[in-house]
Amino acid sequence: MKRILIIGGTGFIGSHLAQKAKNKGWQVTSLSLGKPKRKRRIKGIKYLKIDITKNNEIKKKLLEHYTHVVNLGGHTSEINKKKYQKKIYNSHFKGSINLMNFFVNKNLKHFIQIGSSAEYGLTSSPQKEISKCKPANTYGIAKLKATNYLLKLHKKKKF
């Protein structure tokens, strides 16, 4: 059976992905900092409350085996406010690193890290993957660092 863990599964994209996977017969677990809003709560989906920036929480609470992991998680509200910069950086970089390191030897079929056009900075759309990355804010920097870390893991360990 296909078992998917969706980090950020209570958000807009995550909740739609969860519904789609459930409709296809997958066993779905959603991981977020909080409970889903009533309109996004889906019957039959397991909800976990874990802060991915805390490695010990990941190790203690992620006890099941998953075949697929999709990382949509991270703090994004009020992205340009100075008081949220550390939270944004930690959730998108440190949290992603914690997840990658946790799952690197777990025999997953897929680990999908969602990037962002913010990795390319202030370039006009559409961006191309061969374009030079010049992130212009903390969010873009954190997403790019997470992408680069994942690329290194893929090169070294075929993750």
Q: Mean pLDDT, 10 residues at a time, over the chain (159 residues)?
A: 96 95 98 88 95 95 95 82 88 96 96 93 87 92 96 95
- Angle, nearest 10°, between helix axes 95-103 and 138-157? 20
- Confidence (pLDDT) at 135: 93
pLDDT value at residue 144? 96
Note the pLDDT of residue 105. 93
Q: Which domains does the chain have, with CATH numbers?
A: 3-157 (3.40.50.720)
Question: Three-state DSSP class for 29?
Answer: strand
Q: Are 97 and 146 in contact (CB under 8 A)?
A: yes
Q: Are 85 and 138 in contact (CB under 8 A)?
A: yes
- Cα distance between residue 39 and residue 25, in whole Å: 21
Question: What is the predicted pLDDT for the residue at 138?
Answer: 93
pTM: 0.92
Amino acid 38: pLDDT: 86
Residues sharing a CB contact under 8 Å with residue 75, sequence separation 6 or more, in sequence order? 84, 87, 88, 91, 92
